[in-house]
Amino acid sequence: MDTTTIKSNFKSEEYFINMGPQHPATHGVLRLLLTIDGEIIKKVEPDLGYIHRSIEKMCERDSYQQIVHLTDRMDYLSSHINNEAVCLTVENALQLEIPERVKVIRTILGELTRLASHQLWWGVMGMDVGALTTYFYGFRDRELINDIFEETCGARLTMNYNIPGGLMFDIHPNFVQRTKDFITHFKTKLPEYDRLLTGNVIFQKRMKGVGILSKEDAISFGASGPVGRGSGYSCDVRKHHPYSAYNQVTFNEVLKTEGDSLARYQVRIEEMWESMAIIEQLIDNIPEGEYKVATNAVIKLPKGEFYQKVETARGELGVYINSTGTKNPYRLKFRSPGFSNLSLLNHIAVGGKIGDLVASMATLDLVIPDIDR
Amino acid sequence: MTNETLQNLISSWIPELEFTEADSQYLNITVKPDQLHQLMLQLKNNSETSFDYLFCVTGIDYEKELGVIYHLESTTFRHSIVIKVKTEDRENPTFDSVWNIWRTAEFHEREVFDFFGIIFNNHPNLKRLFLTEDWDGFPLRKDYVDEINMVIK
C-alpha cells in the first residue's frame, strides 16, 4: 500500500452523532444532532418536540382558571412562578386590586421556588461534570423546601396555589416558622456548596473559559435569567419591571462579566443568597388581610391584548393574551426562557469538545417541557 | 422615550404606519409586509430607539388574516414597542425574516412557521421545529381540523 492510500483511509471527515433524546445530560427529552470533526463540534442542531403537548392550543379551549394549572407543566421547577405569571396577567386585565398579603406571600413562595430550582440545578450540574456527591447535597436541602410547599400548598412540585384574584387558601400556621428554620439551616449549608465544588481544580478547569457568550450576543439571542446575567447583561425582570412585592425589598442583581460557564454558575450560587435576603425581609412582615379577592366564577377578560413578564428560575417568562371578550383567550402565547436560551447553544458550543458541550448545557439549566410547551 | 415621542420619530421614517395604544399597554405599530424589514432595521440601529432586545414573537390567526406580533424592548432606554404585520394571503403568507437583526428570531420564526405556516424570506433554516416533517396542516390556525381529536373539546 502506498502512502496516499493510507492517507485517504485516515482522512478527517465530519460525521453526525445523536445526543439524546434519552441522554442523561440533556435532562429530559432533548435531542441534539451534533456535527463533529474528531471531537471538535462543528454544529449543534436541537431537535425539539418530544414532549410537546400543545399547551397554547389547549389554552384556547380552557377557562382562565384552568390555564393556570397547565403552566405547572411547562417549567416544572418554577411552577409557582409560572402560575403567578398567568394570574398577574388576568388580574391586570381585570384591574383587580390584589391584597398586600397575597403579594408578599407570592413573593416569598416565588423565591423559595427559585431556591429549590437552583438547588436541584446545582446537584445535577455537578453530576453532569462528574461530581456525584453534589446531587445528594442539593436534594437534601431541596427536600426541606418541598416540605414547606407540601404543608401550605398541598403539593410538592405542581403547586397550583395561585388563582386569579389571590391564593387558593391561606398559608399554613407553621409556614412562617418553617421558612425561618429553613433559612437558618441553608445559611450554614450554602457555603458547603462552595467548599465541595466551586473551588475544585478539576471543576474550575472544566468551567473556566468554556462556552463563552458575549453581552451583545446574549441580548441578540434573547438570553435571560442567569444566562444573560453571566454575560453582564442586566436583565432581571424583578428589577426592571417589578411585580408582586419586589418593589418593597432591596436585593442585588448578580452580574458577572466573564460570560463563560463558570460565570453562569456563580450567578446562580450568589442568587441563592439574594433569594434568602428577600425572604428574610418579608417573612416577619406578612400583612394581615384577605388571601384573595372574589372574582366571577366565569372570568371574561375585556377585549384587548395583555402582556406580563416575570422572572422564573430560568429567566424571563412572558404571557401574551389576546382576548376578544369571551371566557377563553383568542390567542395565548408563552414566551419561555428556556426556548431562547437553547437557541444560543449552537453559538457557544461550536469549536469546543463534546465534554464542553455537556458543561455548557448544564449551566444553561434547560428544562425541556418549558422549551417544548 | 415616551410613546408620544416614539410615535413622532418613527412616523417620520416611514409614512402610512398605523399607530394605536388602544387595548394594550404598549404602543402598537402595524406595518405593511414589504416595509417590515426596513422598519425593524431602523428600530434596532437608530441610536434614539435602539430596540436591541426582541423578547417575544407571536404568530396569530385573525381568521381573515394571518399575522405576526413582535415585542421589542431597548436595554439602554427600557422602552418597549409592539410591531404587527398582517397578510390576507392564507395560501402563501410570506414576511421577511428578521433573524439577521436579532438572532433569537431564527428559532421564534421557525415556531411560527410550524404552527401557522407563515413563510419567512431569507430564513437560514425554515423547517418544522416541534412537529414532525410529515405533519399535515398548521395546528394553531383557527380553521385547522383536529382529526384525531388531540386537544379534546
Give A322→chain B minimum CA distance, Å: 9
Contacts of A89 in chain B (CB under 8 A): none
User: Which residues sit opposite B82 in a β-bridge?
Assistant: B28, B71
Looking at the domain assignment, is residue A26 inside a domain?
A: no
Contact between B23 and A217 using a beta-carbon 8 Å cutoff: no
| Residue of A240, A316, A343 lying closest to B107 (CB–CB) | A343
Q: Residue type at A62?
A: D
Give B11→chain A minimum CA distance, Å: 23
Q: Cell 418530544 belongs to which residue?
A: A50
Question: For position A88, what pLDDT does the model report?
Answer: 92
Preferred mutation among A221, A364, A368 to probe B, highest tally of B CBs within 10 A: A221
Q: pLDDT band for A206, please (50, 70, 90 cuts).
A: confident
Contacts of B150 in chain A (CB under 8 A): 54
SS in 3 state form for A266-331?
HHHHHHHHHHHHHHHHHHCCCCCCCCECCCCCCCCCCCEEEEEEEECCCCEEEEEEEECCCCCCCE
HSE toward the beta carbon, residue A162, CA cutoff 13 A: 34
User: Helix or strand or coil: residue A240?
Assistant: helix
pTM: 0.88
Question: For position A117, what pLDDT does the model report?
Answer: 93
Mean of the per-residue pLDDT values of chain A? 88
Contacts of A49 in chain B (CB under 8 A): 129-132
- CA–CA distance, A310 with A357 (Å, rounded to integer): 29
At a CB cut-off of 8 Å and minimum separation 6, what does A19 contact? A25, A26, A31, A32, A33, A34, A354, A357
Question: For position A2, what pLDDT does the model report?
Answer: 57
The total domain count for chain A is: 1
Contact between B107 and A339 using a beta-carbon 8 Å cutoff: yes
- Is residue B20 within 8 angstroms of chain A, CB to CB? no
Question: For position A275, what pLDDT does the model report?
Answer: 93
Average pLDDT of the residues in B49-59: 90
Contacts of B151 in chain A (CB under 8 A): 54, 57-58, 61
> The CATH number of B3-121 is which of 3.40.190.10, 3.30.460.80, 3.40.50.970, 3.40.50.300?
3.30.460.80
Residue of chain A minimizing CA distance to B76:
A234
Residue of chain B minimizing CA distance to A222:
B104
Average pLDDT of the residues in A57-70: 90
Q: Give helix then strand counts, H and E, for chain A.
A: 16, 8
Q: Which residue has better confidence, A37 or B112?
A: B112
Range of the domain at A253: 52-372
- CA–CA distance, A361 with B88 (Å, rounded to integer): 41
Distances in whole angstroms, Cα of residue A139 to Cα of each of A127, A361, B53, B73: 12, 20, 36, 38
Average pLDDT of the residues in A233-261: 90
Looking at the domain assignment, is residue A10 inside a domain?
A: no
Question: For position B16, what pLDDT does the model report?
Answer: 81
Sheet containing A331-335: order of strands? A304-311, A316-323, A331-335
Give the model confidence (pLDDT) of A116-160 as tens digits.
999 999 999 888 888 888 889 999 999 999 999 999 888 888 888
ipTM metric: 0.89
Quote the crossing angle between the two packed helices A175-193 and A133-153, to the nearest 10°.
170
Give the model confidence (pLDDT) of A10-20 as tens digits.
556 778 888 87
Give the model confidence (pLDDT) of A310-366 as tens digits.
999 999 999 999 999 888 999 999 999 999 999 999 999 888 888 888 888 889 888
Domain boundaries of chain B, sorted by first residue: 3-121
Question: For position A7, what pLDDT does the model report?
Answer: 57
At a CB cut-off of 8 Å and minimum separation 6, what does A120 contact? A77, A138, A139, A142
| Residue of B24, B54, B151 lying closest to A305 (CB–CB) | B24
Chain B stretch 60-119, residues whose beta carbon is closer than 8 A to a beta carbon of chain A: 60-61, 69, 71, 75, 78, 82, 102-104, 106-108, 111, 115
Looking at the domain assignment, is residue A6 inside a domain?
A: no
Looking at the domain assignment, is residue A83 inside a domain?
A: yes
- Is residue B131 within 8 angstroms of chain A, CB to CB? yes
Looking at the domain assignment, is residue A15 inside a domain?
A: no
